[in-house]
Structure 1
Amino acid sequence: MTERSSLSLVLAGPLQSWGTSSRFATRSTSLEPSKSGVLGLLAAAQGRPRTADIQDLVALRFGVRVDQPGSLVRDFQTERRTEAVRGGSKVVSLPLSHRYYLADAVFVVAVEGPANLIGDLAAAIRSPRFPLYLGRRACPPAGPLIPEVHRETLEVVLESFPYSASDRRAARQALDVRLPVVRDPLPGERASSSEQDVPISYDPAHRRYAKRDTIRTEVVVRNVRGRASMDSHDPMSAVIGS
């Protein structure tokens, strides 16, 4: 039996955008990283061209934990281009586009698969061949993605990985925080939802996606920066004694 392991990454940045259903002039974002987007990030780290075979990446199990959901923001963009016409050129205004982003979000993502592939992906993230983005080119990460290889399953990683929200958010939370998890179902589990999020090809000329089933659960994670340390202080103890 092939040895398996898991790779965890922390995705944090001023803006992220993980579209799975964008249409026409509206470019939407999911509320958590998409499998197709994260696999694209891994492929970029390895230096794979968009026309490369990605079936080994597609076979990886995928899950994400929402440590800090962020805020949904909308950006209006206009574009003008110059087109050649008889006797010269003219400026053409394109339709106004609406682009959605997640601001100040933090996610822990994990992929599970053959140990040798997981090790290669971790090395690639530490020294990527192509620039890495959080969904779109306008969304660079805030810092290193902190790749870690684990012997445990994806589920165990998402349950045990340290709480990764910002200090400001963590300080407002309790000692134990309940966090949403979206992951690939295990055999026999009933899917919660389905969307076009399995990349068949990243080739710009033949970009294709298939349906992906997901299951939504929750995990409770320890928050060592939580407010429980303040709540435990009893100012009356000095008056009434112990």
Structure 2
Amino acid sequence: MSVLALRLAGPLQSWGSSARFARRTTETAPTKSGVLGMLAAALGRDRSADLSDLAALAFAVRIDQAGTRLRDFQTAHHADTDKAMPVSERFYLADAVFVAAVAGDDDLISALHAALRAPVYLPYLGRRSCPPQGPVELGIRDGDDPTTALRDEPWHAAEWHQKKHGKKASVLLPAFAEAVAGGQRGGTVRDQPLSFAPSHRRYALRNVVSISIDVPNLHYRPDKHGKPTSRRPPVPVPRHSPEALLAPLPPQFPLDGH
């Protein structure tokens, strides 16, 4: 057993677990079905191919940078009739960064790792309009628990985001993992893919627990007293003196005209 770690970052992401007519929402973190769909595409599998081996992978995801929620309105026309379709409302996550991990058989994990390095179909973050920023794969880790891999993974948020938290030696990052037998019972989400066939997509329920993962902040900057400080000292702001404009005129400019 081994674990494949993934960095999911890009200008826009959208991970919907449900869609209602013209309203397409996004979850706050990547879904298992969305990540497995990306992996299946990298392998070059057809949408109607068997997913049982991928669906059996253990899955966990960590929110390294939550990003900002955006709403967009889109119009479209039918390809055959050119009839205008209803305006759709779609939601995205902007400037978000996630670290996901899947665990399973060594051969399958190795095949997924190789596929992400040379994908048959280019990966995207939930929707085709959301390409990733940089490589997706972070490498293969030893073990059989994706949650443990996330605990050992450094903070992958953008540098500017980490510097915003420079007063903290470590940060608590929210994460979501699959519930294990005999462990904490979480909530249920319809996010276990059974088929990606366009004519009949099917998803089963799975149990998900919320956890927090403490990771060190490499941009933590304590001062000599042990108190956090910024890397650069603040720039002094000169005092504004509007009364300087009311200074008396020099003697060579008399006011009486003589």
TM-score by length of 2: 0.83
1:49 has 2:46 as partner: yes
1:55-100 Cα deviation digits (max 9, x unpaired): 000000000000000011000011234765xxxxxx5322111000
Pairs aligned (count)? 225
Tell me: CA distance 1:133–1:83, structure 2 relative to 1, closer, same or farther (3 Å).
closer
1:210 has 2:204 as partner: yes
Match of 2:176 in 1: 182
Residues 78-157 of structure 1: pairs in structure 2 closer than 5 A: 78-81=75-78, 92-152=83-143, 153-157=145-149
Structure number, greater radius of gyration: 2
Match of 2:70 in 1: 73
Unaligned runs of 5+ in 1: 85-90, 234-242
Measured after TM superposition, the shift of residue 187 of structure 1 is 1.7
Match for 2:47: what amino acid?
A: R
Unaligned runs of 5+ in 2: 230-258
1:119-162 Cα deviation digits (max 9, x unpaired): 11111111111111000001000111133101132121111101
For the 8 Å contact 1:45–1:124, the answer to whether it is kept is: yes
Match of 1:197 in 2: 191
For the 8 Å contact 2:220–2:228, the answer to whether it is kept is: no
1:44-64 Cα deviation digits (max 9, x unpaired): 111111011110000000000
Tell me: CA distance 1:26–1:181, structure 2 relative to 1, closer, same or farther (3 Å).
same
1:16 has 2:13 as partner: yes
Tell me: CA distance 1:21–1:224, structure 2 relative to 1, closer, same or farther (3 Å).
same
Structure having the higher strand fraction is 1
1:40 has 2:37 as partner: yes
Tell me: CA distance 1:23–1:16, structure 2 relative to 1, closer, same or farther (3 Å).
same
Measured after TM superposition, the shift of residue 227 of structure 1 is 4.1
For the 8 Å contact 2:190–2:203, the answer to whether it is kept is: yes
Match of 1:223 in 2: 217
Tell me: CA distance 1:200–1:229, structure 2 relative to 1, closer, same or farther (3 Å).
farther
RMSD between aligned alpha carbons? Answer: 1.8
Identity percentage over the alignment?
A: 45
